[in-house]
């Protein structure tokens, strides 16, 4: 049984329909990458799963339970954590204070502040530094750590490499690979197709709010993903023609 299922989900911003009849599932221990151009509906989909955006229709099922109407803080306690685009840290607080605040909102489990620092060694010397003084890569590591200390069963990552220098991206993805190798369940939004194909179990491509391609990362060709990404050729799912 899937740990997380999205069923026929519609989400809107006023009159604009950002997510259209999206259905997908995520199994425990799987890394599912969600790709698509800007405006494809990826961030809205993640925010809807996290409870930060109310769906217009459809439902979300987590561990066999319908959570469509569950408020965001209860989803965190249930085991869903979002690392939002732009990180959104408390910039006036230290790294450690950001992590401790998040830990209070989450579940008990193996992810503590010390465990996060072990997974993201760059944070060790920064524990007492204010988040607003950190580099982009350091802030991203802090944001991922903040989600981890809630001890999530599903980690939602939105554009983790956006705006980062290449060396910072390398550091973040090294730590992310450690999480994946440790069996974490991740739904990842990412623009960098090379990164996607290096870490994902499956890839889903969205275009204009809909899923237009879906398949195992090892079986999809880069050309297929690029065509779906830009809406070129016939739309397909599971690698076949629609």
Average pLDDT in the 227-231 region? Answer: 90
Residue 14: CB atoms within 10 Å: 6
Torsion angle (degrees, nearest 10) of CA 209, 212, 217, 220:
-150
158 beta partners: 189
- Residue, of 155 and 137, whose pLDDT is higher: 155
Residues whose CB falls within 8 Å of the CB of residue 161, separated by 6 or more in sequence, listed in order = 169, 172, 173, 190, 191, 192, 195
Question: Would the pLDDT of 153 be above 80?
Answer: yes
pLDDT of residue 209: 96
Least confident range of 19-23, 36-40, 175-179, 199-203: 175-179
Helix, strand, coil shares, percent, the chain, to 5:
35, 25, 35
Q: What is the pLDDT of residue 233?
A: 58
More confident call, 1 vs 34: 34
The encoded tokens of residue 160 equal 């983790």
Burial class for 182, CB neighbours closer than 10 Å (0-12, 13-18, 19+)? exposed
pLDDT one-digit tens code per residue, 48-57: 999 999 999 9
CATH 3.30.420.40 applies to domain 4-241: no
Instruction: Give the residue extent of every domain in the chain.
Output: 4-241
């Amino acid at each position: 049984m899937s740990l997380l299922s999205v069923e026929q989900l519609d989400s809107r911003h006023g009159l604009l329909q950002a997510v259209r009849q999206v259905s997908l599932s995520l199994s425990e221990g799987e890394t599912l990458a969600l790709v698509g151009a800007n405006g494809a509906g990826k961030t809205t989909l993640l925010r809807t799963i996290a409870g930060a955006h109310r769906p217009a229709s459809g439902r979300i099922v987590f561990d066999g339970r319908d959570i469509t109407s569950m408020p965001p803080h209860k989803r965190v306690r249930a085991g869903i954590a979002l690392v939002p685009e732009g990180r959104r840290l408390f910039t006036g607080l230290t790294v450690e204070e950001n992590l401790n605040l998040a830990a209070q909102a989450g579940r008990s489990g193996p992810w503590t502040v010390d465990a996060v620092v072990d997974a993201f060694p760059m944070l060790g010397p920064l524990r007492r530094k204010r988040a607003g003084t950190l580099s982009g890569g350091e802030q991203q590591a802090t944001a991922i750590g903040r989600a981890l200390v809630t001890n999530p069963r599903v980690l939602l990552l939105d554009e983790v490499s956006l705006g980062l220098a290449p060396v910072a991206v390398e550091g973040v993805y090294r730590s992310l690979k450690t999480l994946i190798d440790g069996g974490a369940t991740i739904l990842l939004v990412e623009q960098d197709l090379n990164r996607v194909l290096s870490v994902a179990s499956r890839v889903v491509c969205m275009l204009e709010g809909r899923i237009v391609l879906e398949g195992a990362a090892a079986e999809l060709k880069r050309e297929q993903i690029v065509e779906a990404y830009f809406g070129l050729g016939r739309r397909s799912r599971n690698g076949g023609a629609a």
